[in-house]
Amino acid sequence: MSAAAKIEVGVLGATGVVGQHFVALLAEHPWFRLAWLGASERSGGKRYGELPWRLAAPLPGDAARLEVKTPDPDEAPKIVFSALDASVAGEVEKEFASNGHIVLSNARNYRMDALVPLLIPEINADHLDALALQKKRKGWSGAMVANPNCSTIFLAMALAALREFEPERVMVTTLQALSGAGHPGVSSLDATGNVIPFIAGEEEKIENETRKILGEFRGEEFESAKIGISAQATRVPVVNGHTEAVSVGFRKGVKTEEILAAFERFSGKPQAKKLPSAPVRPIVYLDGADRPQPRIDVERFGGMAVQVGRLRECPVMGHKFVLLGHNTIRGAAGAAVLNAELMRAEGLLN
Amino acid sequence: MSAAAKIEVGVLGATGVVGQHFVALLAEHPWFRLAWLGASERSGGKRYGELPWRLAAPLPGDAARLEVKTPDPDEAPKIVFSALDASVAGEVEKEFASNGHIVLSNARNYRMDALVPLLIPEINADHLDALALQKKRKGWSGAMVANPNCSTIFLAMALAALREFEPERVMVTTLQALSGAGHPGVSSLDATGNVIPFIAGEEEKIENETRKILGEFRGEEFESAKIGISAQATRVPVVNGHTEAVSVGFRKGVKTEEILAAFERFSGKPQAKKLPSAPVRPIVYLDGADRPQPRIDVERFGGMAVQVGRLRECPVMGHKFVLLGHNTIRGAAGAAVLNAELMRAEGLLN
Amino acid sequence: MSAAAKIEVGVLGATGVVGQHFVALLAEHPWFRLAWLGASERSGGKRYGELPWRLAAPLPGDAARLEVKTPDPDEAPKIVFSALDASVAGEVEKEFASNGHIVLSNARNYRMDALVPLLIPEINADHLDALALQKKRKGWSGAMVANPNCSTIFLAMALAALREFEPERVMVTTLQALSGAGHPGVSSLDATGNVIPFIAGEEEKIENETRKILGEFRGEEFESAKIGISAQATRVPVVNGHTEAVSVGFRKGVKTEEILAAFERFSGKPQAKKLPSAPVRPIVYLDGADRPQPRIDVERFGGMAVQVGRLRECPVMGHKFVLLGHNTIRGAAGAAVLNAELMRAEGLLN
Amino acid sequence: MSAAAKIEVGVLGATGVVGQHFVALLAEHPWFRLAWLGASERSGGKRYGELPWRLAAPLPGDAARLEVKTPDPDEAPKIVFSALDASVAGEVEKEFASNGHIVLSNARNYRMDALVPLLIPEINADHLDALALQKKRKGWSGAMVANPNCSTIFLAMALAALREFEPERVMVTTLQALSGAGHPGVSSLDATGNVIPFIAGEEEKIENETRKILGEFRGEEFESAKIGISAQATRVPVVNGHTEAVSVGFRKGVKTEEILAAFERFSGKPQAKKLPSAPVRPIVYLDGADRPQPRIDVERFGGMAVQVGRLRECPVMGHKFVLLGHNTIRGAAGAAVLNAELMRAEGLLN
C-alpha cells in the first residue's frame, strides 16, 4: 500500500507507556499512518519528541515531529486508538465515538458494556456484529471496540484453544509485570525484591471479561460463557510479561496430548486473513521444563503470541499449565492494533 | 537454665544457608548449646568464623570459634540438626540415627518414610508416637524426625487451622524466594527481573507431604489425609519469604468470618507449652488489602508465624487467600529447632 | 530518666519515609518522648496508625494512637524534628524557628545558610557556637540546626577521620539506594535492573556541604575547608544503603596503615558523652575483600556507623576506599536525633 | 558474498554466555560462516541445540544443528574465536595459534603479552603490525589477537576520542552488569538489591590494558601510554550494560564543547572501511540529563557503540562524564568479531 493510500489514525493518551507502544507499533504499519497524537492539556502543544520516551525501541522520527494535541474530536482522524487512563477514558472515548470516530479502546470503561464488543480477533471476530446495534441504541455516529485487560487476553486465548473440550472451571494465579501499572506506576520501594499480592480490580476483570469474550453475541445481547473462573493477581518485579499459572477443569474428558495438539493448531481470522500484526501462531508451546520465562521469552514473536509451557495433569481439576504474554503489546497496544486490522479486513473502517 | 545444664547439640551441613540459620537460632537458645559443627571434607578443620557468613545477623562469637568437623557420629553430640543437602543426607543422617543420635532433619530424604514423623508441632505432635515403631523396625539406636519442605509447612499450617471445616480440595501457586535454593543456588542471570515457573520436585513435595502431615499415625502406619492438592511452584526475585496464593474447597459449608476466626484462634502444643521458639500465634491475619508482602513482612514474629491476608470467597471452590512464610526460618532451621523443643518438652531427648 | 522527665518532641513531615524513621527511632528513646506529629493538610486529623506504614520495624503503638496535626507552631512541642520536603521546608521550618522552636532539620533549605550549623556531632560540634549569632541576626526566638545530605554525611565522616593527613582533593562516585528518594520516589520501571546516572542537586550538595562541615566557625561566619571535591551520583536498585567509591589525595604523605589506624580510632563527642544514638565507633572497617555490601551490612550498628572497606593506594591520587552508610538512619533521621542528643548534652535544649 | 565464498570460522568455548553471543553474531554474518563449535569434554558430542540457550535472541537454526566438538586444532577451521574461560584459555589458545590457527581471543591470558596486539579497531589498528614479530618470536604458524576486557574497551574508546587533548589522569568507577560474570556467575542471593564493591582482577585490567591500547607499537615492542589510571569496580543488579563514571584530567586546556565535538566526530578504520559490525559512530552522545541508562539504552546501535552522557567540568580534574557499553557485545563477542573483520579487510586472514 502506498503511503498516500494508508489510513490516517490517531492515538489518544499518547504519552503513557501504552501510548508509546501504540506509536512504536504504528510507525511502520503497512495499512495505517500515524497522523495525530492526543494527550492531556499538560503535554498539549509540545512536539512528541520533546516528551520523555521510555521504550527500548527508538522513538520513530515521524512521530517525534508531530505536535501533541488536546483531545478534540474535530481535529482527530476518524480512526483513533485510545490508551487513555480509565479516569478520563469514559467521557473522552464516548465523545469521540458519538462524533463519528471509530475508537479502539484499551481502557476498562466500556469493556463490559452490553453494546461494546470485547474483541480478540482469534476468538470472537463475530462479536463485531454488535456494532450495528451499538450504533442504533447508543445513537453514536462512530463506533467503539474494546480490547480486554492484559491478563484476560492471555487466559482467554488459552481457553479458546481448548473450547472443544468445554472448559468448566478455571483457577488462575497471575504474576504481573511492573509495566502493567504504567509510569510512574508502582514505586520502586514497593517493587524491589518483593511481591505485592493485590492489583486493584484485576481479579474481577479476569473473571468477568473472559466470560464475555468466550460467550456469544445473540443478535440483541452478549451471553457470557458458562465458565467458573477464579483469579488471584500478584505484582512481581519483572519489567514486561505477565506469567499465569492456570488450572482448567473440562466438561469433556481430554488427554494431555489432545490439549497440546489443540494449543498448536489454534488459529483464527488474523491468521487466515494474514493481518499484518497477527502472529503466525497465536499460541506457542515451549518444551523447556522451566519455560516460558518473562525476561527471556517475552519479546519473541513480536510480543503478539501467547507462550505456554509445563502442561500436565492437575490432581484437583483437569490440567494445569503456565502461560506468558507481553502485557503492553499483545495485552494492550498490539491488541487494539490487531482489532483495527480485523475491522479493516472486514470493511468496518470505511 | 544455666549454661552448664543446657543440652549440647550439633549441626550437620553447617556451612550452607540453612546451616547458618541453625547457628544463628541456636546461638542464644535457652535450652540448647551449640557444641559441634559438621560439614563436608572441604571445610573440615577450619574455624567456623573463617568461612563465608551470609546472614544479615552477625555471626555469633561462640560459633565462630568452633572448629568445623567432618561428619563423624562418634564425635557429635546426641542431638543433631541436619541441614545437609539431599544428595548426601540419605546416607549421613541414617548413619547418625543408627549410631544413637537424634537427628532433626531438614532434608527431603526421609520425609515420606513410613516410619519417620513429618512434624509440625502445632499440627501433628502425636506423630511422634511413631518413634517407638521406628526404633523397632529400623533397628536404630537413635531416632529421626523430619520437618517438611518450606512451602509445605506454610500451607499445612493454614489448612490445619481450617481442619474443622474439612478441606477437600486445595489449589496453590507458590512464589518462592531465592534463598530457598541456597547459595549460590539460582544464578542472578536467571533471577533478575524474571520469574522461573519451575522448581524441581517442589510441587510433588507440597502435594504429598501436606497429606502426610494432616493425616494420622494409626499405631502401625501413617494414613494420609484425604485432600486433593494441586501445586504450581514458581521462583521470583525475592530474597526471603515464600508467598502462596491458595484456594480451598471444604466439605462443610463455612463463612468467611468463620475461617477468619479459625485462623486467629489456631494454636497448638508449642503455644500451650510455651516452647522457646514458638510464635505467640502461629497464624497472623493481616488486614491490609495488599498484604502480606515478603520484603516488608517476612521478618516479623521472628520469622516463625505464617502471615495470611486477602481472605475472600473463591468463585470456583470455597475460599481463597494469600499466605507468606519465612522459608529459611519457619520453613527450615526454625522448624527443626521447634521440633527439638517439642521433643524435649515431651521427654524424648533423653 | 523517668517517662515524665523525658523531653517532649514533635516530628514535622511525619508521614514520609524519613518521618517514619523518626517515629521509629524516637519510640523507645531514653531522653525524648514523641508527643506530636505534624503533616500536610491531607493527613491532618487522622490517627497516625491509619496511615500507610512502610518500615519493616513495627509501627510503635504510642505513635499509632497520636492524631496527625497540621503544622501549627502553637500546638507543637519546643523541640521539633523536620522531615519536611524541601518544597515546603523553607517556609514552615522558618515559621517554627521564629516562634521559639528548636528545629532539627533534615531538609536541604537551610544547610548552606551562613547562620545555620550543618552538624555532624563527631566532626563539628563546635559549629553550634553559631547559634548565638543565628538568634541575633535572624531574630528568631528559637533555633535551627541542619543535618547534611545523606551521601555527604558518610563522606564527611571518612574525611574527618583523616583530617590529620590534610585531604586536598576528593573524587567520589555514589551508588545510592532507592529509599533516598522517598516514597513513591523512583518509579519501579526506572529502577528495575537499571542504573540512573543522575540525582538532581546531589553532586552539588556533596561538594558544598562537605566543605562547610569540615570547615570552621570563626565567630562571625563559617569558613569552608579548602578541599577540592568532585562527585558523580548514581541511583542503583538497592533498598537501603548508599555505597560510595572514594579517592582522596592528601597534602601530607601517609601510609595505608596510618589511614586504617585513623579510621579505627576515629571518635568524637557522641562517643565521649555516650549519647544514646551514638555508635560505639563511628567508622567500622571491614576486612572482607568484597565488603561493605548494602543488603548484607547496612542494618549493622543500628544503621549509625559508616562502614569502610577496600582501602588501598590510588594510582592517581593518594588512597581509595569504599564506604557504606544507612541513608535513612545515619543519613537522615538518625543524624537529626544525634544532633538533638548533642544539643541536650551541651545544655542547648533548654 | 555468496554463502560458498564465506570464510569458515569456529568458536571455542561456545556454550557460555559470550560463546552464545559469538554464535548469535556470526549466524547472519556477511563474511563469516560458523562451521565449528568447540567446548569442554562435558558438552562434546551433543548437538548445540540440545544445550541450554540463554539469550533473548533465538538460537540460529544452523548453529543448533552443529555438533559440539572437543577443542582439537586439527578439526577446527583456520579462524577461531575464543570465549574460553581464563582457566583453560592459556593452554588451548596457544595450542591453536601454534597449529596454524588465527585466534581471536576474548580471554585475559594473552592480553598483556608483549607480542599480542590488544586490539580495538577504531583505536590501534596499527598494533596488528606486531603480528609479524609475534610469528617470529613465538614460532607460531598461526596468530593471536586479543580484545580487551569489557570495561576497558568502553573507557579506552572514550579516551581515544580525546587523545588530541592528551589525557593525563583518569579516575573511573564502574557499575558492571551481571552478565559480565557469565552463567551461573554471580549468585542471585549476592546480587539482588545489592552492590558488590569488588570484581577480582578487574581494576588492574582497566588500569593496565587501557595504557597498552592507547600506547604505540614501536617495531619491537608495545610502549604503554603515559596516563595515570585509577579504577574502582563494582557489580550492580543489571543484566547487560556496564556504566562507568569517569573523570579525566588533560595535559592541554580544553573546553566542554571541544570534548563534545571530539566525541561526536570520533571515527576509525571500521567506519572508514565500513566493516559489517562497525557502528556508524563508535561514540554516541546522549543529551538527556539522566542518560545513558543500561536497561533502556544498552541494546541500541546493535550493542556496538559506546554511549556517553552528562559531560561537564570536574572540580578536581578536567572533565567528567558517564559512559555505557554492552559488555557481552562490544565488550566481548562483538569486539572479537570486529577485530576479525578488520583483519580480513587488511588481508590478514589469508
Residue type for position D331: G
Q: Is B80 part of any domain?
A: yes
d(CA D30, CA D7): 9
Same domain as C204, residue C122: no
d(CA B37, CA B77): 10
d(CA A76, CA A72): 7
Q: Within an 8 Å CB–CB cutoff, is residue A187 touching chain D?
A: no
The three cell numbers of residue D125 are: 589498528
d(CA A73, CA D232): 57
Q: Is C275 part of any domain?
A: yes
In chain B, how many domains are there? Answer: 2
How near does any CA of chain A get to the CA of C240, in Å? 9
**Res A37: pLDDT:** 97
Mutation for C interface: A17, A18, A189, A327, most C CBs within 10 A? A189
The three cell numbers of residue A271 are: 491468521
Same domain as B245, residue B261: yes
Q: Residue B10 belongs to what H/E stretch? A: strand B7-12
8 Å CB contact of A189 and C185: yes
User: Per-residue pLDDT tens for B229-246?
Assistant: 999 999 999 999 999 999
Residue of B320, B255, B250 lying closest to A173 (CA atoms): B320
Residue C187, classified by CB atoms within 10 Å of its CB into exposed (0-12), middle (13-18) or buried (19+), is: buried
Per-residue pLDDT at C45 exceeds 90: no
8 Å CB contact of A230 and B194: no
| Sign of the CA dihedral running A312, A313, A316, A317 | positive
Residue A294: half-sphere exposure toward Cβ, Cα within 13 Å: 28
Number of H helices, E strands in chain A: 12, 14
Q: Residue A23 belongs to what H/E stretch? A: helix A17-27
**Res D43: pLDDT:** 76
In a 3-state reduction of DSSP, which class is residue C216? strand
Q: Is A350 part of any domain?
A: no
Residue of A280, A266, A271, A279 lying closest to A345 (CA atoms): A271
Catalytic residue flag (residue A101): no
Same domain as A287, residue A206: yes
In a 3-state reduction of DSSP, which class is residue D304? coil
Which residues of C are designated catalytic? 150, 242
Looking up cell 528513646 gives: C29
pLDDT band at D118 (very low <50, low <70, confident <90, very high): very high
Helix axes D334-345, D17-27, angle to 10 degrees: 50
Q: Is A170 part of any domain?
A: yes
Residues A49/A14, Cβ–Cβ less than 8 Å: no
Residues C221/C114, Cβ–Cβ less than 8 Å: yes
Let me know the angle formed at the C-alpha of A16 by A10 and A20, rounded to the nearest 5 degrees: 55
Same domain as D315, residue D206: yes
User: How many C-beta neighbours within 10 Å does residue C94 have?
Assistant: 17
Looking up cell 525524648 gives: C32
Same domain as A183, residue A308: yes
Per-residue pLDDT at B128 exceeds 90: yes
d(CA A293, CA D50): 18
Q: Is A144 part of any domain?
A: yes
CA distance to A213, A246, A247, B244, per residue, from A206 (Å): 11, 12, 14, 19
Looking up cell 478534540 gives: A72
d(CA A252, CA C136): 89
CA distance to A33, C316, D232, D233, per residue, from D198 (Å): 51, 19, 8, 6
pLDDT band at D327 (very low <50, low <70, confident <90, very high): very high
Per-residue pLDDT at C2 exceeds 70: no
Residue type for position C133: L
Average pLDDT over residues B206-227: 96
**Res B1: pLDDT:** 57
Residue of D154, D57, B166 lying closest to A298 (CA atoms): D57
**Other chains touching A, judged by 3 or more CB pairs under 8 Å:** B, C, D
8 Å CB contact of C295 and B239: yes
Q: Within an 8 Å CB–CB cutoff, is residue A175 touching chain B?
A: yes
Q: Which of C56, C299, C300 is facing B296, going by the closest CB pair?
A: C56
**Cβ neighbours for C347, distance < 8 A, ≥ 6 positions apart:** none
Residue type for position D57: A
User: How many C-beta neighbours within 10 Å does residue A239 have?
Assistant: 21
User: Per-residue pLDDT tens for D1-36?
Assistant: 565 689 999 999 999 999 999 999 999 899 999 999
Residues A62/A6, Cβ–Cβ less than 8 Å: no
Helix axes A256-265, A150-161, angle to 10 degrees: 110
ipTM of the predicted assembly exceeds 0.90: yes
**Res B2: pLDDT:** 63
Average pLDDT over residues D302-323: 97
Same domain as B222, residue B186: yes
> Within its chain, how far is the Cα of D207 from the centroid?
16
Same domain as C313, residue C240: yes
Q: Is C213 part of any domain?
A: yes
In a 3-state reduction of DSSP, which class is residue C338? helix
Same domain as A110, residue A43: yes
Cβ contacts (< 8 Å) between D295 and chain A: which residues?
A: 56, 239
Residues 236-255 of D with CB under 8 A from C: 236-239, 243, 245, 247
**What is the CATH classification number for the domain harbouring B200?**
3.30.360.10
Cis peptide leading into D282, omega within 30 of 0? no
Q: Which of C179, C188, C238 is facing A191, going by the closest CB pair?
A: C188
Q: Is C350 part of any domain?
A: no
Same domain as C173, residue C118: no
CA distance to A4, C47, C66, C228, D173, per residue, from C62 (Å): 71, 11, 7, 47, 46
**Res A54: pLDDT:** 85
pLDDT band at B177 (very low <50, low <70, confident <90, very high): very high
User: Per-residue pLDDT tens for C238-262?
Assistant: 999 999 999 999 999 999 999 999 9
Residue of B121, B177, B189 lying closest to B151 (CA atoms): B177
Looking up cell 499480592 gives: A197
Same domain as A222, residue A199: yes
**Res D21: pLDDT:** 95
Residue of B336, B314, B18, B335 lying closest to B172 (CA atoms): B314
Cβ contacts (< 8 Å) between A189 and chain C: which residues?
A: 17, 54, 178-179, 183-186, 239
Q: Within an 8 Å CB–CB cutoff, is residue C229 touching chain D?
A: yes
Q: Is C308 part of any domain?
A: yes
8 Å CB contact of B183 and D192: no
Residues C192/C251, Cβ–Cβ less than 8 Å: no
Residues D244/D323, Cβ–Cβ less than 8 Å: yes
Q: Could you tell me where the DSSP H helices lie in B28-149? A: 61-65, 86-97, 121-124, 130-138
Average pLDDT over residues C12-24: 95
Residues of chain A with pLDDT under 70: 1-4
Same domain as B155, residue B141: no
Per-residue pLDDT at D41 exceeds 80: no
Cβ contacts (< 8 Å) between D299 and chain A: which residues?
A: 56
User: Per-residue pLDDT tens for B291-335?
Assistant: 999 999 999 999 999 999 999 999 999 999 999 999 999 999 999
**What is the CATH classification number for the domain harbouring C47?**
3.40.50.720
**Res C57: pLDDT:** 82
Average pLDDT over residues B34-38: 96
Same domain as A181, residue A276: yes
Average pLDDT over residues B74-82: 97
Q: Within an 8 Å CB–CB cutoff, is residue B191 touching chain C?
A: no
Share of chain C above pLDDT 90, in %: 93
d(CA D197, CA A19): 39
CA distance to C169, D152, D166, D250, D251, per residue, from D226 (Å): 22, 16, 10, 12, 11
Q: Within an 8 Å CB–CB cutoff, is residue C191 touching chain D?
A: no
Catalytic residue flag (residue A242): yes
**Radius of gyration of chain A measured on its C-alpha atoms:** 19
Residues C298/C240, Cβ–Cβ less than 8 Å: yes
Domain around C288: 150-327
